[in-house]
Structure 1
Amino acid sequence: MTDAAWRRIEPLLPAQPARGGRWADHRTVLNGILWKLATGAPWRDLPERYGNWKTVYERYRRWAADGTFDRVLTHVQVHDDSVGRIDWTVSVDSTIVRAHQHAAGARKKGNRAGRTRHRGAVRRSGGPGAG
């Protein structure tokens, strides 16, 4: 994390508790969280330079639960939008993907495509022009 990014984010992070033992540095822990999220590696594979993986994981869980990450994201979005750094262009794709009838898991009502009912029996239709 750059020094400029850290200066913007640091005031938004929770204060370190007054009681208890030694508290791991927020910046080191945040860098560990960013490394984990960027790589997708398991928490236990976190490099030692970020501290104990369990500490980094617990801080991640705590900040996710108490809304810290939401506050940081909102702050950064509002600030960057006000100075024109965010492009809010949205692209909508109208692609249609049809699923097989069994993909939904429920039976269709009525006749199945390609079949006709004849006096209680199901007979395959030959399609157009079949005679």
Structure 2
Amino acid sequence: MAAGRVSDYIGARALRSSLPNVDWLLGDRGYDADWFREALQDKGIRACIPGRKQRKTPIRYDKRRYKRRNRIEIMFGRLVSFS
């Protein structure tokens, strides 16, 4: 999670060494960077991140899995509202 106006992938750079041992990483377009995808792949993590609109070649991702990520965002929204 990145602070306010900090780009998502700048926050990802700071956290990449402490990524847990997981199968998938779900992220929005803000995390679309080739170096980040390569870092995930090196750790054996499959990226489910749609490509930015400026990309010349489209990025393939699991659209069904990505669509379900809103459940996580809703959960965090509820946690914030209860605290």
Compute the TM-score of the two structures, normalised by the length of structure 1. 0.25
Q: Which has the higher contact order (CA 8 A, sep 6+)?
A: 2
Give the TM-score, by structure 2 length.
Answer: 0.35
